[in-house]
A and B are shown apart, each in its own frame.
Chain A
């Protein structure tokens, strides 16, 4: 038995030490994330309620995102319709385009695209703003003036994203369908009423509920990730950049995972 390999300072013990430290850090981070989420669910019910700040954040997150979301949604509707037509035309089934667009946009593309755009625009803004407030001691200043910074900054922003992302999703879906309609109307001369009759005929109530639930979860994720990264940022201005960047990357990653899981759950429910 080679006793030397267990001695501190040897290559193997150093590797073990590094691995243990990494595992420690992962578990500590997970515990912190859990505590942060638990604190949100505790504080969201307790007074005082920061209604003014929640409304301000809803405006910032919802209304200010409308131009970007509208343009993206509209273009996606047109592009998706245009790209789907040749495949359906091969089978002489272009009359099914409204149904295809409806299922794809309402079930998946609408919520997903809205969430990804919001993660980029809103998530990074929240991460950078709170990160900058942390490093310039503005969060400490709130705390020493006996104001709960978690309630004012985190609860208001997470509530705003949770409320506004579903609203934005509905809007994106509508605008995408409108883009799809214009393309279909131009090529197949389908009327608006026929198009929307086929759109709603192709989906079920479960699709709308699933889409809404998904966008609520996406909204919560975007707000929570941005706030967590920003609120806990450190290391000065470098930390602010990292908070903004990792807010976007982490939120997008989680959104894809959630999409996958929710899709499985909905398909299981649909099978019954």
Chain B
């Protein structure tokens, strides 16, 4: 398992996402207790943490699917909580969200899944241009042959790839990956990790990758933050994060890498 080389094109002067004092609770259970986070242009940021620690809640707040209770969430210079529905939709076109279970539309073929956002948001495109774009993103994820298949005919890894292709089709500036390797076999995990890095290079995206898979974290993360007890406790490269005597951090590491 090799650590990823930090992307030299990261622009540390340009923050694409800036979060300050973010709090979120469900009934009496406080999930996020004042989170601060910056994502720089061109960076792959991995958010590590155990299940139920609020990692997915964090990216759902960034994409406007959930409302924050307190704090500021600034995405590409816009305050997400203050946006009107139309403004939020405009911002969402610049954000790609890859869901944990891919969330492909079951009743549509792969082509129709990819066409769905294009028909609605790239109305200037001719049918031929749409077809070219679909083929380009399918080639980018290595699944051009699946263009006429239904989601139910695809494997878990293929569904993940198509899910990523669907988010890429509108050329987003930011990618949010929710547990990209969850439920996949080790070989497919490696393929998905490579795909995340290829997307960063080819499409020049800035990404937040939510995971509890340390192999994935090491393979794709330029920077890693660890969410513990509702706050980011550790931050840095993979080795920096795990150079800690904190029992919670060590137990997380040991659980993933049992000798």
Contacts and interface: CB of A to CB of B under 8 A. Distances in A.
B97 A144 contact: yes
B93 A141 contact: no
A171 to B, nearest CB: 26
A222 to B, nearest CB: 20
B103 A141 contact: yes
Given A144-B65, A144-B95, A138 B103 contact: yes
A144 B89 CA distance: 8
B103 A137 contact: yes
A44 B92 CA distance: 23
A1 B63 CA distance: 57
B121 interface: yes
A136 B107 CA distance: 13
B89 A146 contact: yes
A242 B105 CA distance: 21
23 contacts: A129-B107, A133-B106, A136-B103, A137-B101, A137-B103, A138-B104, A138-B105, A138-B106, A140-B60, A143-B65, A144-B64, A144-B92, A144-B95, A144-B97, A145-B93, A145-B116, A145-B117, A145-B166, A146-B90, A146-B117, A146-B121, A147-B116, A147-B117
Q: Which 10 A-B pairs have the closest CB atoms?
A: A141-B103, A146-B89, A137-B103, A144-B97, A146-B92, A145-B117, A137-B99, A144-B63, A138-B103, A146-B93
Contacts of B166: 141, 145
Interface string B218-234: 00000000000000000
Contacts of B107: 129
Interface string B71-115: 000000000000000000110110101011101111100000000
A62 B221 CA distance: 52
Given A137-B101, A141-B97, A144-B64, 12 more contacts: A133-B106, A136-B106, A137-B99, A138-B105, A140-B60, A143-B65, A143-B92, A144-B65, A145-B97, A145-B116, A146-B89, A146-B92
B244 to A, nearest CB: 34
A244 to B, nearest CB: 15
B120 interface: yes
B106 A132 contact: yes
Contacts of B121: 145-146
Most buried by B among A133, A136, A138, A141: A141
B144 interface: no
B65 A140 contact: yes
A44 B211 CA distance: 40
A48 interface: yes
Interface string A126-156: 0001001100111011011111000000000
A141 B167 CA distance: 9
Contacts of B19: none
B195 interface: no
Contacts of A146: 89-90, 92-93, 117, 120-121
Contacts of B100: 137
Contacts of B249: none
B35 interface: no
B92 A145 contact: yes
B190 interface: no
Most buried by B among A129, A133, A136, A144: A144
Interface in B30-51: none
A41 B234 CA distance: 50
Most buried by B among A129, A132, A140, A145: A145
A21 B101 CA distance: 35
A140 B95 CA distance: 13
Contacts of B167: 145
B140 interface: no
Nearest to B85: A148
Contacts of B92: 143-146
A48 B120 contact: yes
A143 B95 CA distance: 12
B166 to A, nearest CB: 8
Contacts of B106: 132-133, 136, 138
A234 to B, nearest CB: 13
